A and B are shown apart, each in its own frame.
Chain A
């Protein structure tokens, strides 16, 4: 089957066509991503209204390109999938309404995809990973461990109670006067740095917790930097290196714990740990995770960088998996700013009065 996937939940306007064969193997026919980075860079973060405006201006052209690059027409499609949340609601609405319009014209089934499910299932598209596996989703908006037990069967094992990991990178970059987005900028600066010059705390939230708390680390980074101000390039590199090394260590410790919990709960002795989200591109974190996985006999799977950050292929693929299982949505499907992958999850402390964001 051929599925069109549309992603507009943050600052990438994206569309892709993915094929899924009867055996459940996937193939990406096209994957077009238009980044709005420049529209938001000046504001040091994504501005929701600017993002929504850019999506509505760009999306139809991106969809047309995705079809053209795949060499197909709308009539060749078997379904349309779009991110319906969680994310910035103005942008989500643009993608979802566009998918509804296409579905209306061609009588196609609509799949309203949870953005997190897109990330969660990507490793099945790229690496054919079988259920169950452990997912670590680390991006600007999310930091969580999820036991992926089957299609639509997700159990959150741990999440951040304050900042997301990508957010912590962005805030550190801003503090140090580095470029936006902060992830790549901190990683670049850290290369020349000495990670041992500044001692930073490692908030682990107790022996068994699989949750993250990064706001205290953020404060410690600020205090360390303040004490050394005005900062030379050397200081900036050392602070960045200390921050990145600390984060990598926290993630690795949590990953070992999460793998142990996953093994205990599922009985899978050599589990697969899948990493997704923009932070998966960070090499220090990748190296730490590889070591953590190897230490407990697990296999680490990191999809290619372009499929870890937001893209349409992951939405098309999640749509294809759902469609193959007979899971489709009506054209009245709502956009949802908050939509936890694990709908039964208890909202975490600090996740806001409206409950868990994701």
Chain B
């Protein structure tokens, strides 16, 4: 039995197969930026072939659920949920932020020299455009745990807000939005943009260690859909129109004026 990990949420299209214990059977990453929907199944096919296994042998799917490109998130999630349904196996979500944090924290960690508590936390910041980043603050996993500790839930925030969060926590900033956050902090924090997308093996390992119910395969967009009521011209009536727009409720997608 093996675990299939998928990531199409950011620039990369990545697939890995792991044993239930987290050992790598095969992996592939293509840094393509766009076109994930066309490429994903070919990459998956290569990985199954390299691992000498088939989708019938799967015991679990792990998939990145965002934040990232809305379309990219859905490409991976739709595929993962369909594979899970068709193979009758659980699907587990992993956020891009925690997977990138896991990578960044591991790079700072030499287990022979330091214990996790001595590692500075990281703020993962993904460029979300419109003056914002998708960000979350993470600490190294306590000994024996497979995933970093999430100190703040993933959120969309301004560069300045992210900078304040990093400074207060003494965190370094990593991810595609790291320089934007560092600029907002006038260079008072260390920033590293080298990690632009999750390491697919780390995605798989976090998912392998997680109870499926802990992170269901539901998208994490962090931003409402762009939508505004169509105001189209309407002629005045002597009686009430049938379709007065319903005022938006707080749970509804953002409505822009």
Contact = CB atoms under 8 A, between A and B. Distances in A.
A97 B85 contact: no
B180 to A, nearest CB: 24
A335 B39 CA distance: 12
A179 B243 contact: yes
Interface in B73-132: 74-75, 77-87
Interface residues of A, number: 57
Contacts of A63: 82, 85
B235 A105 contact: no
Contact of B86 (A106, A232, A233, A236): A106
Interface stretch (B152-160, B190-198, B224-232): B224-232
Contacts of A94: 74, 78
Nearest to A101: B82
B246 interface: yes
Interface stretch (A51-59, A254-262, A291-299): A51-59
Contact of A49 (B70, B82, B87): B70
A101 B242 CA distance: 43
B14 to A, nearest CB: 15
User: Nearest 10 pairs between A and B by C-beta?
Assistant: A177-B241, A101-B82, A331-B41, A49-B225, A98-B82, A97-B78, A44-B230, A105-B86, A101-B83, A47-B227
Given A55-B74, A230-B235, A236-B237, 11 more contacts: A43-B229, A43-B230, A44-B229, A49-B226, A60-B84, A94-B74, A99-B82, A174-B234, A176-B237, A225-B235, A231-B237
19 contacts: A43-B227, A57-B218, A59-B82, A60-B85, A93-B37, A93-B78, A94-B74, A96-B37, A97-B74, A97-B82, A101-B80, A105-B55, A174-B233, A178-B241, A178-B242, A331-B41, A331-B42, A332-B39, A334-B37
Interface of B: 37-42, 44-45, 55-56, 70-71, 74-75, 77-87, 218-219, 221, 225-230, 232-239, 241-243, 245-246, 248, 252-253
